[in-house]
Structure 1
Amino acid sequence: MNNLNFIDLFAGAGGLSEGFIRAGFEPIAHVEMNKDACDTLKTRTSFHYLKNSNRINEYHDYLKGKITRDDLWNKIPKHLIKSVINKEISAETLPFIFDIIDSELNGKEVDLIIGGPPCQAYSVAGRARKNMDDDPRNHLYKYYVKFLERYNPKMFVFENVPGILSANNGQYLDLIFNAVKEAGYELDKKVLNAKNFNVLQDRKRVIIIGWKKNLNLKYPDFEEVINQFEISKDLFSDLPKIKSGQGEWKETKYSKKTNHYLESTGIRNGIDFTTQHVSRFNNENDLEIYKIAVDKWVNDGKRLNYAELPKRLIKHSNTKSFTNRFQVVNHKGVSHTVVAHICADGHYYIHPDIEQNRSITVREAARIQSFPDDYFFESSRTTAFKQIGNAVPVLMAEGIAKKIKEMI
């Protein structure tokens, strides 16, 4: 049962994949169009190979900056690096992608296909900006179905934003369901929330699960976990205190011992350092707004209304909409949803500690998404934030994967 395998489509930085690996599944291939995300996947593939080969110290050397990324990648079999396929999925690229996956499979059957097409097209904000039918991202599900038809997996998991339920008055969801049924699958959907999988984040996602018609299965039941943990006390407490523009991209020592939440979730997983605990530099105007926002939230439990700031601090002409553009992460409970826009600025993710007076670091954002501390996001701070914001929380993915494993 430990050798159940999967193909990950629209893989991003690998949050969904990491959860399935933790549940005992083995990746055959990851397909992703973004180069930075693919580099992250290659680095994580190196981690798993070296860990399973009792050579994890060689991965730690990379995190500490002792060896280069190419040195790391050269330590693992070339076919594993090749199995991270940096291609946009299209009619033109399908034959190439199929060839690589076929060579990786080497005659084996596929147990599972996971992944969800880019969600911006289905999001409410995305729909406001584009004509739905003209956006090619709305039709990527057709390629997902082609993978189902070619590899005939026992089951699949399709993840997306809640906006997919109402896109084009629900017609896009109908198209997806009909196409999948024609490919020989039964399927069902639910809106699941990451906070019910021990993730310290309020993040709703539509999870569609399908199975071959002859398997006589049904959508699994997921228990709702009542979260007892808090961001400041449990998630951020052991990271060194830094101010705006400070931090280390590579090795960062913890300032405190681990705790029950970090230990039980595998976020702190055995080594005495982490990486990418780096915050953005902010100008004095923003930092003054941050202090007002934190004071208001921590002491009064109220969110900052941008239009109510002192006039000298207001730099945007629009004070009618997006009045919540400065928001503090909830220190006493779970965070609001981390989205890809975090790569543009950190105003929507202000650290709740007024002494630090900054937006959250790459590592703190990764922890909110329940990535383990040895997960390294490649290329730059901006690309790392984007990858994290687009990811499926690892603990949520693991919870889904465990149920899928039971069913298969």
Structure 2
Amino acid sequence: MSSVATPIIDLFAGPGGLGEGFSSTGNFNIVASAEMDPIAHKTLTLRAFFRILREQAPERLADYYAFCNGDADTPYTEQSLPYWEEAEAEALCVELGTSEGNRTLDEAIVKNLPKDEPWILIGGPPCQAYSLAGRSRNKGKLDYKPEEDKRHFLYREYLRIIQENGPALFVMENVKGILSSRVNGERIFHSILRDLSAPFELDKNGEASGHEYIICSLVTGTCFKKGDDPTKLDPKDFVIQAEDYGIPQKRHRVILLGIRSDLFSGSVPRLQGQPQVNVRDVISDLPQLRSRISRTADNIEEWKKTIQRNVGAVASYMTKKGGEAFRPLSDYCVRSLNALAAHNLDNGSNQLQRKLWNVDKVLYKKWFYDNSLDVILNHEARSHMESDLTRYFYASCFAEVFGRSPKGPADFWVPQLAPTHSNWQSGNFSDRFRVQLSNEPATTITSHISKDGHYYIHPDPKQCRSLTVREAARIQTFPDNYFFQGNRTQQYHQVGNAVPPMLARMIAESILELDLLAKR
């Protein structure tokens, strides 16, 4: 890392997607990151180690790759241990909002931030209280009171760091649901804008002191400053639709850029639109995998027999009852079954050997690929129940024939396909089984992917499965050498909660264009 790189503090860092994008430019140096989840923290620490080696001791990167390739039990050796200890000092496993967590972070800030030098604060306070899904769950709790949910106010931990340390800029990310979330009848987004634009501390005489900030939209250039009326703003100005910027998913997130008023020149950076990138563009080169069968003996022959038996019955029923309208689908199911019979796919339970891929087959190859990897990391298929295998196969065939993912009872009309859920016919879960269409950006990768694969069905029926962690990570634009730690469920959770690193890099590059950070 260059000695002139701007320091960064990363709060609520997760596995480090936002920090990865900034640091990848070579102009920013993460000096401290904070994450409370111990498993995400392991990923964060491992990535910090990789980054430190890359910049300070590239000759020791072999230690990292030996760990990734399964040739070593730890990512460091005696020679690289000092760099591992540096990574552990950078990546903090702390719960912000607690006295111990805040003290640990404050000590790291004092130790690592240079005096009178510009620095940047980044991060996204936890979104569960703001997301539409989270609010829906909370409505079902008789004793739930938004004003007593501390998650609504974790942004104040972010605010506290701004108050006490005055960064040159800050970047805050959150779900779109924050725009409509209310506490005590007031939109939480309006409170956040007011607080962030004037994050003053009161001195012992009760006088306000500190910097003001201009809150900017990276999409429209809209600005909010102290004293402005937040009700006059269109909150959608602060929503970045990731698919408009070359990210292969329809991820819509609120991102606020705060510029310290004494550095603000009136110029606001704007993200430049990019051509649309589809699912096929970023996962088509990864090794094909078959799903596994849960609750029964699993092997390739049993897997084939199960799908052929069940899908064959579905195709036969469609031919008899569906008439000409469904004949193309039943025929495609049969053709796909015949193709499946000729495949002997791995399930990824062992690390798959990386092959010399056709490097023109996937977009962003320079971003994703790493020739020092001998294996495909985090690329392992889930196990699915027999009934879900049938639905996944049918759904992916349906998507290929009709160009859309099937919805509800109207499309899953064959009796063998109907789930046993009592509310299936209500229409409330019409999108319960969703195929990620190969010729479109994916739907949003969220932490729900850790619960089941129903919303994330692979478009290839011959694989008959949901997306792997690596495929989800590709859609989130994580490089292939980003090694997610923990069990598979924990890996999915980390990927779903992250900021796409490539989008973060675009934000970082737009900030660099302002040339504010050279000012003293």
5 Å-filtered alignment, 1:365-376, equals 365-376=472-483
Equivalent residues of 1:64, 1:251 under 8 A apart: no
Say whether residues 1:135 and 2:149 are aligned partners. yes
1:29–1:85 Cα contact (<8 Å) kept: yes
Q: Are 2:401 and 1:299 equivalent residues in the alignment?
A: yes
Question: How far 1:317 moved relative to its partner?
Answer: 1.5
Which whole-Å CA distance do the structure 1 matches of 2:119 and 2:395 have between them? 49
Q: Secondary structure at the match of 2:107?
A: helix
- CA shift, 1:251, in A, is 5.0
Shift of 1:26: 0.4
* RMSD between aligned residues: 2.0
**CA, structure 1 residues 22+136, in 2 after alignment: closer, same or farther (shift >3 Å)?**
same
1:144 aligns with 2:144: no
Report runs of 4+ in structure 1 exceeding 6 Å deviation: none
CA distance in 2, matches of 1:110, 1:262: 35
SS state of the match for residue 259, structure 2?
A: strand
Which has the larger displacement, 338-347 or 119-128?
119-128
Paired positions, count: 406
Would the aligned equivalents of 1:6 and 1:110 in 2 still touch at CA under 8 Å? no
> Helix, strand or coil: the match of 1:30?
strand
Cα 1:230/1:255, change in 2 over 3 Å: farther
CA distance in 2, matches of 1:291, 1:21: 41
Q: Are residues 1:174 and 2:190 paired? A: yes
Structure 1: distance between partners of 2:361 and 2:242: 19
- Per the TM alignment, residue 252 of structure 1 is displaced from its structure 2 partner at its CA by 3.3
Number of the residue aligned with 1:99: 107
Q: In structure 1, give the amino acid aligned to 2:421.
A: H
Unaligned runs of 5+ residues in structure 2 are: 139-144, 200-211, 218-237, 293-346
Partner secondary structure for residue 187 of structure 2: helix
Corresponding residue of 2:215: 187
- Give the match for residue 300 of structure 2: none
Task: Give me the whole-angstrom Cα distance separating, in 1, the residues matched to 2:161 and 2:361.
Answer: 41
Partner residue of 2:423? 318
Which of 64, 72, 81 does residue 67 from structure 1 map onto? Answer: 72
Q: Is 2:76 aligned against 1:87?
A: no
SS, match of residue 8 in structure 1: strand
3-state secondary structure, aligned to 1:352: coil
Which segment drifts farther, 28-37 or 270-279? 270-279
Offset at residue 58 of structure 1 (A): 1.6
Using structure 1 for the length normalisation, give the TM-score: 0.94
Q: Structure 1 residues 63, 249: closer, same or farther in 2, change over 3 A?
A: farther
- Aligned residues of 2:246 and 2:273 also touching (Cα < 8 A): no
Answer whether contact 2:291 2:465 (CA < 8 A) is retained. Answer: yes
CA contact (8 A) 1:29 1:101 kept: yes
Q: Contact 2:13–2:123 (CA<8 Å) still a contact in 1?
A: yes
Deviations 1:19-42 (A, max 9, x none): 000122100111011011110011
The CA deviation at 1:261 is 4.4
Partner of 2:312: none
Structure 1: state its 5+ residue gaps.
none
Task: Pick closer, same or farther for the CA change 1:197–1:271 going to 2, 3 Å.
Answer: farther
- How is 1:1-400 mapped onto 2 (pairs within 5 angstroms)? 2-24=4-26, 25-52=28-55, 53-54=57-58, 55-69=60-74, 71=76, 74=81, 76-92=83-99, 93-105=101-113, 107=115, 109-130=117-138, 131-168=145-182, 171-183=187-199, 184-189=212-217, 190-217=238-265, 218-227=267-276, 229-232=277-280, 234-245=281-292, 246-248=347-349, 250=351, 252-254=353-355, 256-259=357-360, 261-264=362-365, 266-271=367-372, 273-308=375-410, 309=412, 310-313=414-417, 314-319=419-424, 320=426, 321-400=428-507
- 1:150 positional shift: 1.8
Bigger Rg, structure 1 or 2: 2
| TM-score (norm. length: structure 2) | 0.74
Distance 1:211 1:224 in 2: 22
CA pair 75-253 structure 1, distance change in 2 beyond 3 A: farther
Q: Secondary structure at the match of 2:368?
A: coil
Residue pair 1:63, 1:250 contacting (<8 A) in 2 also: no
Counterpart-to-counterpart distance in 2, 1:151 and 1:260: 47
- Measure how far apart 1:239 and its partner are: 1.2
Q: Would the aligned equivalents of 1:109 and 1:153 in 2 still touch at CA under 8 Å? A: no
Task: Output the CA distance in 2 between the equivalents of 1:304 and 1:260.
Answer: 28
Identity fraction in percent: 34
Q: For 2:191 and 2:93, locate their aligned partners in 1 and report how far apart those are by CA, in whole Å.
A: 27
Q: Which amino acid aligns with 1:226?
A: P
